[in-house]
Amino acid sequence: MSYRRISCEPDGPVLVVQVAENGFAKADGADRATNTEIKEDLLHLAESVTGPVLLDMTAVRSIAVDGFGTLIHFEKKMATTGHPWALCVNEDVWQLFRVTRLDQRVKRFPDVPTAIRELVCESQDAPPHQVD
């Protein structure tokens, strides 16, 4: 499967999903279509994963309300799969998660290598991801 607004790269059993800097920007005009495509991409991905997922949002500088809605939907879909997931996000964006209390629903790591290491430990028996 080819995604329009995210890129996916397996790293052992962990699927690393990179979200572009403007991936969760304020949704007006053309950005609304971008947010819709990201939501569709992430929800489809959540339905097809075979192991842990890391959303690499280190390039994201802000998140609009629509973006939080997308992440909540993604979290709920991932919960149905039983596969762990986590975020890499900078401290400024993480503060928004704290304010909205989403920090209580998702694990956050400061960098990709640390997140991968922790997710691998959580799911030692997960097979490597297959990217369509």
Would you state the structure tokens that stand for residue 89, as one six-digit string? 């996000």
Gyration radius of the chain over CA positions = 14
pTM of the model: 0.84
What is the model's pLDDT at position 112?
A: 93
- Displacement of CA 127 from its chain's centroid (Å): 19
The single-letter code of the amino acid at 100 is T
Q: If you average pLDDT over residues 21-42, what whole number do you get?
A: 70
Angle between helices 30-48 and 65-81 (to 10 degrees): 10
Q: Which residues of 61-94 are buried (b: 16+ CB within 10 A; e: fewer)?
A: eebbebbeebbeebeebbeebebbbbbbbeeebb
Q: What is the mean pLDDT of the chain?
A: 82
- In the chain, which ranges are continuous DSSP H helix? 30-48, 65-81, 91-100, 112-122
Domains of the chain: 6-122 (3.30.750.24)
Q: If you average pLDDT over residues 24-40, what whole number do you get?
A: 67
Tell me: the pLDDT tens digits for 70-123?
888 999 999 998 889 999 998 988 998 899 888 998 899 989 999 999 998 887
